[in-house]
Amino acid sequence: MNLAKISANGQITVPVEIRRQLGLKSGDKILFLQKQNGEIVVSNASAAAIRKAQATFAGSADALGVSSEDDIQALVDEVRYGKGR
């Protein structure tokens, strides 16, 4: 169990063990999520954003027929320069 004290300004120091487990470093942001059962979960906001983006884009490469770095570069070139270049 880890305990943190709230300062008069509402600040907390995240215990080192928790920082390590969440992969947090100075300047990172943490996310507080309330589950349906009322439980509060603390998460690394950057990691949560990456997981959300991964879930959002899952299957997009297959749908676009992208299977290699060359395919990605072709899509970037198409967006930058238009078709036919």
* Domain spans of the chain, in order of start: 16-81
What is the per-residue pLDDT for 61? Answer: 84
What is the per-residue pLDDT for 52? Answer: 80
What is the per-residue pLDDT for 9? Answer: 96
Helix H or strand E segment including 44: strand 40-44
> In one letter, which amino acid is 64?
L
Residue 8 CB partners (closer than 8 Å, separation 6+) = none
Q: What is the pLDDT along the chain (85 residues), one digit of tens a residue?
A: 889 999 999 999 999 999 999 889 999 988 898 999 999 988 888 877 777 878 888 888 888 888 899 988 988 898 898 865 4
What is the per-residue pLDDT for 82? Answer: 83
